[in-house]
């Protein structure tokens, strides 16, 4: 079976842990969009791993990991991640890691431009500053440099020269910054090409041939539905399609070959960066949940904004992603609360909204309407069977099912690999 895992909120839902668990039973795992703006955390025993570009399944020895064409690769960051993991005893070779030659490459000017654009904006996006937006912008503007180009010195030279002619003029005239040196970037990136060359493959052919041989694939989504460039809270979004549709354009595997979509949500909501967030806590609980849930960005370390679970948001996500099953992560973070709220509608200018509003102003100014459920007021640690959960915890989960009309299959109750209930 080929399964896609997507985030149904604003990212950081706990996809890394779910991928780690599911990838035990699949042959290949493929990342399909985003870049090293992502941070997927997996805890194994007392070891914590944070993956930015490598699929989280790289921890499983016999599994193959693929970086699909939809991912933008910062070669320096990728090589750093590979080296770090090799130092920690993991084997990463061209046998268990394949990188699409069609991936677009993050260059130094993308990273700098990301920061400069953000600094000039009145309405900041809260970008991670990894150059992801400018790199995708070049892809669409048809001047991007791809992984395969790093293996072809003549082509790299000609593309880089073209790019620098334009970029240096922008840097100088718009931002008053000094020029990038062609020679420095050219030599640095040729060198990355030499190091990454052995991993580069035609992953479209590779993945589709694997499917023909009845191998199973796990598609690892990064970020979340409301950071999607088309469907998210634009312009406070990332620059790729983080919904399940991105799995097809970002790998070359057709939609008819994806059998199941699992959406990952937190038992509450978080968001890092700017943008509307109707159920955000104002005070008190914000610090409390942030501390208990360790809600700090896995990539930038920024404190995440926290709020109640928003069923309006997630229901929209489930429609877009055609979700078959839901995974609720971090339920244990709510263990101590006497009462827990779920947002079931928004109110704006006297009107009630039961669907995710397209109008940005409505979303930004909407008052959430809540339903309150009793908490379970006890630790969920150690529970492995659904029936053993306190009745109020089951009530909370079953209310999700009623509101969202989807089955909850996985319930995560801790950071460790085995702290999960499978129903
Ligand atoms: P960028 O993709 O780095 O430009 O960031 C754009 C927005 O998406 C910012 O609000 C980031 O905080 C957010 N973002 C990007 N990647 C992630 C992620 O992996 N998890 C959560 N938020 C993210």
The string of pLDDT tens digits covering residues 100-136 is 999 999 999 999 999 999 999 999 999 999 999 999 9
Question: In this structure, what is the dihedral angle of CA atoms 142, 146, 151, 155, given to the nearest 10 degrees?
Answer: 10
Are residues 423 and 415 in contact, defined by beta-carbon separation less than 8 angstroms? no
User: What are the φ and ψ backbone dihedral angles of 14, each rounded to 5 degrees?
Assistant: 110, 25
Q: Which stretch of 282-291, 318-327, 363-372, 402-411 has the lowest confidence by average pLDDT?
A: 282-291
Q: In angstroms, what is the span from residue 238 Cα to ligand 1's centroid?
A: 6
Cis peptide preceding 235, ω within 30 of 0: yes
Q: Which of 303, 311, 243 is nearest to 270 (CA)?
A: 303
By most ligand atoms within 8 Å of CB, the mutation choice from 227, 234, 295 for ligand 1 is: 227
Quick check: 61 pLDDT over 90? no
331 SS3 class:
helix
Q: Where are the domains of the chain?
A: 3-100+200-262, 104-195, 265-422
133 within ligand 1 shell (Cβ under 6 A) = yes
Quick check: 340 pLDDT over 90? yes
Quick check: 322 pLDDT over 90? yes
Bridge pairing between strands 407-412 and 3-7: unpaired
Mean pLDDT value of segment 172-201:
96
270 SS3 class:
strand
Residues 305-318 pLDDT 10s: 999 999 999 999 99
Q: Is 60 a catalytic residue?
A: no
Q: Which residues pair with 67 in a beta bridge?
A: 31, 99
Nearest CA to ligand 1 atom 10: 273
Residues 6 or more apart whose CB falls under 8 angstroms from that of 129 comprise 111, 114, 115, 118, 300
Give the integer Cα–Cα distance in Å for 414 and 382: 9
By most ligand atoms within 8 Å of CB, the mutation choice from 273, 275, 297 for ligand 1 is: 273
Confidence band of 284 (pLDDT split at 50, 70, 90): confident
Q: In angstroms, what is the span from residue 239 Cα to ligand 1's centroid?
A: 9
Tokens of 164: 């620098």
By most ligand atoms within 8 Å of CB, the mutation choice from 11, 134, 300 for ligand 1 is: 11
125 within ligand 1 shell (Cβ under 6 A) = yes
At 292 the pLDDT is: 96
Residues 66-84 pLDDT 10s: 999 999 999 999 999 999 9
Q: Which of 212, 205, 225 is nearest to 33 (CA)?
A: 225
Q: In angstroms, what is the span from residue 318 Cα to ligand 1's centroid?
A: 21
Per-chain mean pLDDT for the chain? 96
Confidence band of 298 (pLDDT split at 50, 70, 90): confident
225 within ligand 1 shell (Cβ under 6 A) = no
Tokens of 107: 């260059």
At 182 the pLDDT is: 97
Tokens of 98: 């394949």
At 283 the pLDDT is: 81
229 within ligand 1 shell (Cβ under 6 A) = no
Q: In angstroms, what is the span from residue 386 Cα to ligand 1's centroid?
A: 33
Give the integer Cα–Cα distance in Å for 172 and 314: 44
Ligand 1 atom nearest to 239, measured from its CA: 2
Residues 10-47 pLDDT 10s: 999 999 999 999 999 999 999 999 999 999 888 888 99
Q: In angstroms, what is the span from residue 212 Cα to ligand 1's centroid?
A: 35
Measured distance between the N- and C-terminal CA atoms of the chain, rounded to whole angstroms: 19
Q: Is 40 a catalytic residue?
A: yes
238 within ligand 1 shell (Cβ under 6 A) = yes
Quick check: 141 pLDDT over 90? yes
71 within ligand 1 shell (Cβ under 6 A) = no
CATH topology of domain 3-100+200-262: Adenylosuccinate Synthetase; Chain A, domain 1 (3.40.440)
Are residues 269 and 309 in contact, defined by beta-carbon separation less than 8 angstroms? yes
Architecture (CATH level 2) of domain 104-195: Orthogonal Bundle (1.10)
Confidence band of 154 (pLDDT split at 50, 70, 90): very high
For 103: left if phi > 0, alpha if psi spans -120 to 50, otherwise beta; the answer is beta
* Burial class of residue 415 in the structure, from the number of CB atoms within 10 Å of its CB (0-12 exposed, 13-18 middle, 19+ buried): middle
Confidence band of 304 (pLDDT split at 50, 70, 90): very high
Architecture (CATH level 2) of domain 265-422: Alpha-Beta Complex (3.90)
Assign 3-state DSSP to the chain and report helix, strand, coil percentages, each to 5.
Answer: 40, 20, 40
pTM for the structure as a whole: 0.96
Mean pLDDT value of segment 358-387:
96
Q: In angstroms, what is the span from residue 273 Cα to ligand 1's centroid?
A: 7
Tokens of 3: 């399964």
Confidence band of 405 (pLDDT split at 50, 70, 90): very high
Q: What is the residue whose two structure tokens read 């991928």?
A: 19
Confidence band of 191 (pLDDT split at 50, 70, 90): very high
Q: CB 34: neighbour CB atoms within 10 A?
A: 28
Ligand 1 atom nearest to 302, measured from its CA: 12
Identify the active-site residue in 20, 40, 74, 114.
40
Are residues 97 and 80 in contact, defined by beta-carbon separation less than 8 angstroms? no
Quick check: 52 pLDDT over 90? yes
Confidence band of 295 (pLDDT split at 50, 70, 90): very high
Q: Which of 238, 226, 235, 251 is nearest to 135 (CA)?
A: 238
């Amino acid at each position: 079976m080929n399964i896609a895992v997507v985030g149904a909120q604003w990212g950081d839902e706990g996809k890394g842990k779910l991928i780690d668990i599911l990838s035990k039973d699949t042959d290949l795992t493929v990342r399909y969009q985003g870049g090293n703006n992502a941070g997927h955390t997996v805890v194994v025993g007392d070891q914590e791993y944070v993956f930015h570009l490598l699929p989280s399944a790289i921890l499983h020895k016999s599994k193959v990991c693929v970086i699909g064409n939809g991912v933008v690769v910062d070669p320096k960051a990728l090589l750093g991640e590979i080296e770090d993991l090799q130092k920690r005893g993991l084997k990463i070779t061209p046998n268990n890691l394949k990188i699409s030659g069609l991936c677009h490459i993050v260059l130094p000017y993308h990273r700098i431009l990301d920061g400069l654009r953000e600094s000039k904006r009145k309405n900041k996006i809260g970008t991670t500053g990894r150059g992801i937006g400018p790199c995708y912008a070049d892809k669409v503007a048809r001047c991007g440099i791809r992984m395969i180009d790093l293996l072809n010195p003549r082509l790299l030279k000609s593309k880089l020269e073209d790019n620098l002619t334009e970029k240096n003029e922008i840097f100088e005239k718009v931002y008053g910054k000094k020029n990038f040196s062609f020679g420095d970037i050219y030599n640095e990136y040729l060198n990355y090409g030499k190091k990454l060359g052995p991993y580069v493959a035609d992953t479209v052919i590779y993945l589709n041939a694997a499917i023909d041989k009845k191998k199973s694939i796990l598609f690892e989504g990064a970020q979340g539905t409301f950071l999607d460039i088309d469907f998210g809270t634009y312009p406070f979004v990332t620059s790729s399609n983080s919904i399940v549709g991105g799995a097809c354009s970002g790998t070359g595997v057709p939609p008819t070959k994806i059998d199941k979509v699992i959406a990952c949500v937190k038992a509450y909501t978080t968001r890092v960066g700017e943008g509307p967030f109707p159920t955000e806590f104002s005070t008190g609980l914000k610090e409390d949940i942030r501390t208990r849930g360790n809600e700090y960005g896995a990539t930038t370390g920024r404190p995440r904004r926290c709020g109640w679970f928003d069923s309006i948001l997630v229901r929209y996500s489930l429609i877009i992603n055609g979700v078959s099953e839901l995974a609720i992560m971090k339920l244990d973070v709510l263990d101590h609360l006497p009462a827990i709220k779920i947002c079931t509608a928004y109110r704006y200018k006297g009107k009630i909204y039961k669907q995710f509003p397209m109008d940005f102003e409505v979303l930004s100014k909407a008052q959430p309407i809540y339903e309150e459920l009793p908490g379970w007021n006890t630790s969920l640690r150690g529970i492995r069977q659904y029936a053993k959960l306190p009745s109020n915890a089951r009530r909370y989960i079953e209310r999700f099912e009623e509101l969202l009309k989807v089955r909850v299959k996985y319930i995560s109750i801790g950071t460790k690999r085995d702290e999960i209930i499978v129903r």
